[in-house]
């Protein structure tokens, strides 16, 4: 089953939005297979956001994502990578539709509440950057038979 890496960013942790964000993915029918509250090192941040290292906002981005605890998660389910991106909304909260996480909770692009992997390759890369294999739970979720 497909897995994705999602992360509640420091702004949303500070604002007390972890529970609301987790609830959206639970209610959708996805299965949480790993989660931890952690502070990201500069090295991990630079690696995670490596594709943006030439961008003008890179140092602010690394500064922001390392500025306080994040809630890192792995979620599993059918088409979870693309569906989670849809549920997050556009990168800039001003363009994100109401009903999406960024549309409902964010105001500016540099504090946009949540990260989500954008492809199968990035999901695999990001999951292995943030979690060891033995931190991922394999379990049957009884409600799945009513979801699929
Ligand atoms: P996403 O997080 O939707 O995958 P991205 O990979 O293009 O978006 O950018 C990573 C993060 O960098 C994004 O969540 C917020 C920040 N960012 C993107 N564009 C920005 C900009 N123009 N100014 C400031 N921060 C930006
Ligand atoms: Mg991205």
pLDDT digits 0-9 by tens, 57-115: 999 999 999 999 999 999 999 999 999 999 999 999 999 999 999 999 999 999 999 99
Q: What is the pLDDT of residue 135?
A: 98
Q: What residue numbers bound the domain in which 93 lies?
A: 3-134
Catalytic residues: 115
Is residue 143 a part of any domain in this protein? no
CA-proximal residue: ligand 1, atom 1 (nearest): 91
Q: What is the pLDDT of residue 96?
A: 98
ipTM of the complex: 0.98
Does any ligand 1 atom lie closer than 6 A to the CB of residue 115? Answer: yes
Report DSSP letters for 109-136, one per residue. TTB-SEEE--SHHHHHHHHHHH--GGGS
Is residue 7 a part of any domain in this protein? yes
Residues by chain with Cβ below 5 Å of ion ligand 2: 118
CB 6 within 8 A of CB 18: no
CB 73 within 8 A of CB 101: no
Is residue 66 a part of any domain in this protein? yes
Is residue 145 a part of any domain in this protein? no
Is residue 147 a part of any domain in this protein? no
Does any ligand 1 atom lie closer than 6 A to the CB of residue 46? Answer: no
Is residue 45 a part of any domain in this protein? yes
Report the percent of the chain where pLDDT is more than 70.
Answer: 100
Is residue 83 a part of any domain in this protein? yes
Q: What is the pLDDT of residue 79?
A: 98
Helices 18-28 and 80-88: crossing angle, nearest 10°? 130
Which ligand places an atom closest to the C-alpha of 112?
1
- For the chain, the domain total comes to 1
Binding residues for ATP: 9, 57, 85, 91, 102, 112
Is residue 105 a part of any domain in this protein? yes
Q: What is the pLDDT of residue 130?
A: 98
CA-proximal residue: ligand 1, atom 25 (nearest): 110
Residue 77: burial class (beta carbons within 10 Å; 0-12, 13-18, 19+): buried
Does any ligand 1 atom lie closer than 6 A to the CB of residue 67? Answer: no
Write the CATH number for 51.
Answer: 3.30.70.141
Residue 2: burial class (beta carbons within 10 Å; 0-12, 13-18, 19+): middle
Q: What is the pLDDT of residue 126?
A: 98
CA 34, 132, 89, 70: dihedral to nearest 10 degrees?
Answer: 80
């Amino acid at each position: 089953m497909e897995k994705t890496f999602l992360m509640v960013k420091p702004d949303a942790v500070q604002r007390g939005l972890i529970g609301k964000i987790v609830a959206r993915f639970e209610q959708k029918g996805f299965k949480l297979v790993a989660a931890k509250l952690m502070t990201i090192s500069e090295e991990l941040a630079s690696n995670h956001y490596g594709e943006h290292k030439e961008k003008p906002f890179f140092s602010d981005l690394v500064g922001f994502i390392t500025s306080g605890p994040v809630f890192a998660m792995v979620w599993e389910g059918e088409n979870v990578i693309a569906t989670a991106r849809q549920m997050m909304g556009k990168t800039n909260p001003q363009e994100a539709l109401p009903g999406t996480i960024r549309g409902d909770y964010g105001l500016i692009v540099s504090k946009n509440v949540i990260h989500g992997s954008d492809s199968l390759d990035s999901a695999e890369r990001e999951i292995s950057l943030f979690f060891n294999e033995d931190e991922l739970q394999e379990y049957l979720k009884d409600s799945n038979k009513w979801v699929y």
